[in-house]
Amino acid sequence: MSKEKTKNNSKKTKPVENTTPHGDAQRGTGGELHQSAEGTQHPALTTNQGVALSDNQNSLRANPRGPTLLEDFILREKITHFDHERIPERIVHARGTGVHGFFELTASLKQYTTARILTEAGERTPVFTRISTVAGGAGSVDTPRDVRGFAVKFYTKEGNWDLVGNNVPVFFIQDAIKFPDLIHAVKMEPDRGFPQSASAHDTFWDFISLTPESMHMVMWIMSDRTLPRSLRMIEGFGVHSFRLINKAGESTFVKFHWRPKLGLQSTIWDETVKIAGADPDFHRREMFEAIQAGNFPEWEFAVQLFTQEEADAFPFDHLDATKLIPEELVPLRVIGRMVLDRWPNNFFAETEQVAYCPSHVVPGIDFSNDPLLQGRLFSYLDTQLSRLGSANFHQIPINAPKCPFANHQRDGHMQMAQPAGRVAYEPNSLSENSPRETPIKGFRSATVPETGEKGRIRAESFADHYSQARQFYLSQTAYEQAHIASALVFELSKVEHMHIREAMVGHFRHIEEDLAKRVAVGLGLEKMPNAPTTAAPILEMQPSPALQIIGKMKSTLMGRCVGILIADGSDGAVIKKIKKAAIDAGASVKIVAPKVGGAKLADGSMLAADGQLAGTPSVLFDAVAVILSDDGAKALSMEGAAIDFVRDAFGHLKAIALDKGGQALLQAANIAPDAGVVDVNNKDAFLAAAKTRQWEREKSVRMLA
């Protein structure tokens, strides 16, 4: 945003009188006002002890690309306060779904690491995986436009390893010191308590408009990646670079990836909104039902391995969490698989009480100097101490290692063990059986030299905020680009302040001029805003097809669900035929009828229904078949839920199979058939169309940016 716009905006904004009993104290040292770089006056930003901050953007590091220092009391105070703002619900990732399963290593990385979880091919390790939304509370819906957390706890032979990531490979910010600001901005606005689980409001986009480093992540969150069809159809990423350490003490950088066996699939925005109303627990229920049916979710586990020398040649800094390493640059190596096969016995005891910490690693795995990761190493443990109320949270069964563990940490709130013996320290000479360090096999950090001057400064290699954002956008199909532009128009149309909308369009001009124009037109801007000054040149990176969803969708009905709408008088033979074909192709099938008891078929038999029409709309299915008698079609043509059933299925680009009665209902809904609407007797054509969406139909059913 330009200085002139900032000044004009400050003149139009009426200052709010501070009526708190600590009015002057909240203004900073002595309650003085300080002049900002833009020329306006603001209270000094201070610590809770009144110490004015010179830099609220960067943690204290040993050198520009070095590790974050424990002495950074500003970072620790800010993160600690943030971690303790909510109890007992998680501040972020409050709404989650957890499932037990196992990890099986299929290819050893013995050359790179001593971690047995990554070297003993063929071994199966128990895991507990929790997938969650970020912004909403525990009582929010499953399907908002949001990032999904993807956290896996490996109960290894050498201790617990927590790989805590997301379904998006990058993040909003480069430094952990900004995390409280990010979450405060996206959460419900504090003066009104809404919106819940939504980013379409002023505080979020105000923060983003002033944080250019977020532009790559903005492309991801506005893409279809944040509207997953199923939790079984999302990728997972460790986000940060980690280190693997081998027997010789040599380290190799690594990025971790989870790839779903069912492939990627997302919903359409209008569909997502309606799913939230039809079934707020859609994702959780779908996962539960799949596991109950024995359709266990599965992911490939893959790594990107690279050396320091290779990293130095990248046109970006891999320690920057707002960047990814394209698969075309460093290919993925599949080394294992994860299968989730058992639902928790008790949701609270396991899914709610599970505690993940990125600092939980095993010998052979270590950390990089990613400043966002460095802050998380402190923050997650501190958060668990607050949420679970005790330093003994590791004794809760879902958190306890499945290998032996022993130390001298005694007592504390909710101590469940009964440590015996006289000594609780090491070294000691009074006990032969007390635990001691194991220099040879114990955890060792990578021996990496660190030199330079400590300070609150970000490396120059972190300055490029637009190149990968542009690469992501240009890598999408035309349909996905339209969805991104339309999502941005929707979100920014909810923003009240014009200068925020204009600032965002200015940023988009650096990503792609056509994107900026589409959003500007959608927002009704009379002229294009100026693009902000860039801190680094924008590189022209090759598009990466691996970043698409449509291009990566698998041509399969595995994991998909087909809904069959019936009524009294429907043809049972046709229903049986289409149901069998869908099940044989790998789909699940649900029968929908006007009444929950089912319908009396043409031969006089009763067919039970899995769902009542009014409560089981077509948004819950990937494809639908409508099999009706003439009388049934006539009756349903007067029923709004039936009209919505076929209209939404068509509008959400789904395949539709029809008999004569189904065709009559489609006509009553004023829908002109296309290639995705087929005769129910042509089951092969229906199954082929059901494996994807009818993307060409979209331009005829809705206006996109």
Question: How far apart are alpha carbons 42 and 52 in whole angstroms?
Answer: 12
Question: How far apart are alpha carbons 232 and 341 in whole angstroms?
Answer: 12
Q: Is 166 designated active site?
A: yes
Q: Which contiguous run of DSSP H or E holds residue 126?
A: strand 124-133
Collect all residues with Cβ–Cβ distance below 8 Å to 296 and sequence separation of at least 6: 101, 290, 339, 340, 341
Collect all residues with Cβ–Cβ distance below 8 Å to 20 and sequence separation of at least 6: 26
Collect all residues with Cβ–Cβ distance below 8 Å to 139 and sequence separation of at least 6: 95
**DSSP state string for 140-186:** S-S-SS--EEEEEEEEETTEEEEEEEESSSS-S-SSGGGHHHHHHHH
> Which among 166, 167, 369, 399 is annotated as catalytic?
166
Question: How far apart are alpha carbons 209 and 583 in whole angstroms?
Answer: 48
Collect all residues with Cβ–Cβ distance below 8 Å to 573 and sequence separation of at least 6: none
Cis peptide before 88 (omega within 30 of 0): yes
Other residues' Cβ atoms within 10 Å of the Cβ of residue 60: 19
Collect all residues with Cβ–Cβ distance below 8 Å to 175 and sequence separation of at least 6: 57, 58, 59, 371, 372, 375, 458
Tokens of 43: 């209270």
> Which among 58, 93, 167, 201 is annotated as catalytic?
93
Tokens of 669: 């809904």
- Dihedral angle sign, alpha carbons of residues 136, 139, 143, 149: positive
**SS3 at position 595:** coil
Tokens of 702: 């809705």
Q: What residues does 166 pair with on adjacent strands?
A: 149, 237
146: amino acid identity, one letter: D
The pairing of strands 41-43 and 96-105 is unpaired
**SS3 at position 387:** helix
Question: How far apart are alpha carbons 232 and 599 in whole angstroms?
Answer: 32
Q: How far is CA 352 from CA 144, 356, 377, 396, 649, in A?
A: 20, 11, 21, 11, 35
Alpha carbon dihedral 7, 9, 10, 16, in 10-degree steps, equals 180
Q: How far is CA 209 from CA 167, 293, 493, 506, in A?
A: 23, 46, 15, 9
Helix boundaries (H) for 555-623: 572-584
Question: How far apart are alpha carbons 223 and 153 in whole angstroms?
Answer: 28
The pairing of strands 561-565 and 677-679 is unpaired
Question: How far apart are alpha carbons 186 and 201 in whole angstroms?
Answer: 8
Question: How far apart are alpha carbons 342 and 239 in whole angstroms?
Answer: 27
Tokens of 66: 């070095």
**DSSP state string for 297-346:** -EEEEEEEEE-HHHHHHSSS-TT-TT----TTTS--EEEEEEEEEE--S-
Tokens of 562: 């087909």
**SS3 at position 562:** strand
Collect all residues with Cβ–Cβ distance below 8 Å to 109 and sequence separation of at least 6: 115, 118, 119, 244, 303, 335
Tokens of 643: 């009209």
Q: Is 246 designated active site?
A: no
Q: Which residues are catalytic?
A: 93, 166
